[in-house]
Structure 1
């Protein structure tokens, strides 16, 4: 397999005061805040100790709050442990460390980290709500394929205000264990008598329990908690919908790019095979107590060396949550069909050109000089039997696919043609999952189709990002720009810019929808306009996020994304 093909394959696999409401009864630390101002930091006394944050644009911000002990030493590959209560007032004006990661996908994430002390969360909250009542809560899980990413680039300021048309909301963002450290199965560890395997999922549940204990102190309502996430974050939201140990910790679910990720989970057998191969490669091959000690003594750098590179993940990182039998007891399709999941209102969808993110990564790493996919590469990538992330359980391209997407339909542009193949199958899987849920819970589906927002990849010769995976995050989280190297640029000129006036209006719509959903379980607040509730029939309508906003029927959606073909190929 060529380097270009390996990179595309990996990228597709990636496809997180005094007790009382801040502002209602605030006290202030007497020391210096992050901007050098004396006595201006709001203080909240949490169940674990007092923290001091800062205020920006009318929003009280608390960063780097530990929700579990550092999973280091003997706590590596253990369920998250309770934080030790601290004395005095802890500074909460800086983000905590990001979890260990190496595969940063160019501009998407990073920097690389070898710091296991990373189980921190952040809170964004206005003061007393306009109504004087407790506010809804959004807990956000960042994306990154469960191998990279961090909470640091998710500024919850606008979302917490509700924007001009929404509801004031307490926003919580969090870090969770990634890669081999977050998803790991090995007999020597699994037999220790604790919950095992899906450690990242357990971290997310520990953060949700922290919210239940503490969020009222920030003005939030523990009875109205929306768990949301984008990309791998959406996958993790779906996993928590399936998990019995998440029951009662949240009661709305937001799956942004996309619900279709939660159509299938790796099996316990595949997770065990991956973990065993990692231990062997690390020089810890025996399945006994000494093996567990050997694994926990590995340096983080050594673990990441085996996990992957800056460009791609290696064979020893399963990354995604898997069906372990307890934390995640069954495959999603079985759960959706049988009704054995945590029932609550669900909001979900994806961008129109999701896979343009992955062809962008491929071109970014192709140079210098940077070059797009060629016609010859396209022919190889779409040949019957080639690797395919969204296809049948054997992950093979089905016969007839290349004929459905001839290059002549795309002006000979192999990148655009390949983006459509990668996107359309996933979009049809999104529809399948949402229509499985629709008869059982209030379900709201969207299609983000806006084409010209700024994006953090540089202008490249053959790249046309359009409505690409991750481009919609900036409409909810101020100036989201991937990782620390990302700069949002205009897609035509390649020059830096922020959202323009029309895009800010779309942002206002989305912020209002997300916060109303957290508040009532309905993105409209009440009623069925402008966002209609989804049903299981083809006359139902999708909400279209664009300028201007609109709706389309499910039958129009199916035709646009060729779902008649893909439904015959997908196996759930």
Structure 2
């Protein structure tokens, strides 16, 4: 069973205090908050960026938070959004309550940064749009803050709470359906209004995310509602996002579901228990809806047509993305069957180096799902003279190499965030691991600062162009640029899967 708590009526009251206690304090647009400082980094957790999306605000665009008086103690994460159970929790000892009242964000900033104009990075978590939370230990922004980069992480609604349409929910002129994406946009608006108070530069904001978070980055790149709210973007293993559900189809599906629950009106829908709404959550790729306001088209169409923000873009995937097949049994067989006669030829290319067929089929699926879309987006961006950097991550921590065939989906996150010490750490760090994580983190820091990942002491990372087709390869042997990585098999796979 899932766990969640109802805190919409009492959370702020519990957090508000008129008694001054030691801790960094920041005055925001809506009130004053107090965080915690440790080792030169101040963190502020559980800051409301919107009103609780409950009752009449369920399935509505996020509304600005109500101002508060006194001091809000921003020392612990707000609740995670209600979601399906995690099959693989983010480390031993992790626990955080769930609630529909979940629109909170967190900030990590250097101590005494007030008055500065530091680059800002806004992290968007993954989880197939049906799970995930900003409270995960691997999303700690301390390493960035120690390098004078402010990190913001946010919760957004997932599952049917975040992506749902129904004819009864239409409101005059208001976007419907993609409430999770609207939450992300609202958080970016909050950054524009408030980040100066932490020492951040609202004119230098980088959005970055992994998996569904990277998909979100790509949707935000294409959304007119997000234009001007960010200035750089990083998409880590975001996939193709080739399908968005038409609004009329989403409304028909929503009505059929509501009818089964006996909820025929907007009021009845909003009175359904959270456990009922959680029932049979919507799944990627059918989560995101072409609502004509937030999402106008699929992101492949947007990238191909040049309907994306003109900002520096860093994109890539890992070398063992087929790790996802544990949740999608048989996906590789279905993909190959869908290719018809072309499928066997592509499989043989993947077996050309002696790779067993079973392994080759899964590798083909992993590259189809993540590697090829990353290369394709880099290609489309480069063709339109965009500034883009492509990577492939394959580094496995030394103590895991005996049992781990490659860098699975999401395995780069702990390196990007340079999470060396955590109460939920899953392995010991060796000197080689520490060198890799420090380099990964510094590339991301440099990109946030300047729109270019390169910097002193790092292996030069060439920009991807339609002529050079060079990516940066991170693996167990080190860091090095590679031109036309796996060109033969990726070109064949692209030709076989392009309609």
Do they fold alike, i.e. is TM over 0.5? Answer: yes
1:368 maps to which residue? none
1:535 maps to which residue? 465
**Is the aligned partner of 1:119 residue 2:103?**
yes
Q: Using the alignment, how far apart are the partners of 1:322 and 1:443 within structure 2?
A: 27
**Is the aligned partner of 1:98 residue 2:80?**
yes
- Root-mean-square deviation (Å): 3.1
Q: Using the alignment, how far apart are the partners of 2:267 and 2:301 within structure 1?
A: 37
Once the 2 structures are TM-superposed, how far is the Cα of residue 187 of structure 1 from its aligned partner? Answer: 1.0
Once the 2 structures are TM-superposed, how far is the Cα of residue 71 of structure 1 from its aligned partner? Answer: 0.1
Once the 2 structures are TM-superposed, how far is the Cα of residue 327 of structure 1 from its aligned partner? Answer: 1.1
Once the 2 structures are TM-superposed, how far is the Cα of residue 127 of structure 1 from its aligned partner? Answer: 2.6
**Is the aligned partner of 1:437 residue 2:381?**
yes
**Is the aligned partner of 1:352 residue 2:295?**
no
**Is the aligned partner of 1:449 residue 2:394?**
yes
Once the 2 structures are TM-superposed, how far is the Cα of residue 487 of structure 1 from its aligned partner? Answer: 5.5
Q: Deviations over 1:65-113 (max 9, x none)?
A: 0000000000000000010100011011100000010142333598696
Q: Using the alignment, how far apart are the partners of 2:474 and 2:249 within structure 1?
A: 38
Q: Deviations over 1:209-235 (max 9, x none)?
A: 110011111010000000110110000
More strand by share: 2
1:518 maps to which residue? 448
Deviating above 4 A after TM superposition, structure 1's stretches of 4 or more consecutive aligned residues are 29-32, 108-114, 406-413, 525-529
1:45 to 27, 32, 45: 27
Superposed counterparts of 1:83-162, under 5 Å: 83-107=65-89, 115-128=99-112, 133-153=116-136, 154-162=139-147
1:424 to 367, 371, 384: 367
- Taking structure 1 as the reference length, what is the TM-score of the superposition? 0.76
Once the 2 structures are TM-superposed, how far is the Cα of residue 510 of structure 1 from its aligned partner? Answer: 1.4
**Is the aligned partner of 1:255 residue 2:235?**
yes
SS at match of 1:336: helix
SS at match of 1:151: coil
Once the 2 structures are TM-superposed, how far is the Cα of residue 443 of structure 1 from its aligned partner? Answer: 0.5
Q: Closer, same or farther in 2 for the Cα pair 1:115/1:472, shift >3 Å?
A: same
1:73 maps to which residue? 55
8 Å contact from structure 2 (residues 311, 387) kept in 1: yes
**Is the aligned partner of 1:266 residue 2:245?**
yes
2:13 maps to which residue? none
**Is the aligned partner of 1:225 residue 2:192?**
no
Q: Closer, same or farther in 2 for the Cα pair 1:509/1:479, shift >3 Å?
A: closer
8 Å contact from structure 1 (residues 104, 112) kept in 2: no
Q: Closer, same or farther in 2 for the Cα pair 1:410/1:471, shift >3 Å?
A: farther
SS at match of 1:296: helix
1:5 maps to which residue? none
Q: Closer, same or farther in 2 for the Cα pair 1:198/1:51, shift >3 Å?
A: same
2:496 maps to which residue? 569
Once the 2 structures are TM-superposed, how far is the Cα of residue 318 of structure 1 from its aligned partner? Answer: 6.6
Q: Closer, same or farther in 2 for the Cα pair 1:208/1:453, shift >3 Å?
A: farther
SS at match of 1:96: coil
1:214 to 194, 207, 216: 194
8 Å contact from structure 1 (residues 453, 466) kept in 2: no
Once the 2 structures are TM-superposed, how far is the Cα of residue 334 of structure 1 from its aligned partner? Answer: 3.0
- 5+ long unaligned stretches in structure 2: 1-16
Q: Closer, same or farther in 2 for the Cα pair 1:480/1:330, shift >3 Å?
A: farther
1:82 maps to which residue? 64
Once the 2 structures are TM-superposed, how far is the Cα of residue 122 of structure 1 from its aligned partner? Answer: 0.2
1:182 maps to which residue? 162
8 Å contact from structure 1 (residues 473, 480) kept in 2: no
- 5+ long unaligned stretches in structure 1: 1-28, 33-38, 163-167, 308-313, 363-372, 489-496
Q: Using the alignment, how far apart are the partners of 2:131 and 2:236 within structure 1?
A: 17
Once the 2 structures are TM-superposed, how far is the Cα of residue 343 of structure 1 from its aligned partner? Answer: 1.2
SS at match of 1:446: strand
Q: Closer, same or farther in 2 for the Cα pair 1:96/1:382, shift >3 Å?
A: closer
Superposed counterparts of 1:261-410, under 5 Å: 261-284=240-263, 286=264, 291-307=265-281, 320-359=287-326, 361=327, 382-383=332-333, 386=334, 388=335, 396-402=338-344, 404-405=346-347
- Count of residues paired in the alignment: 474
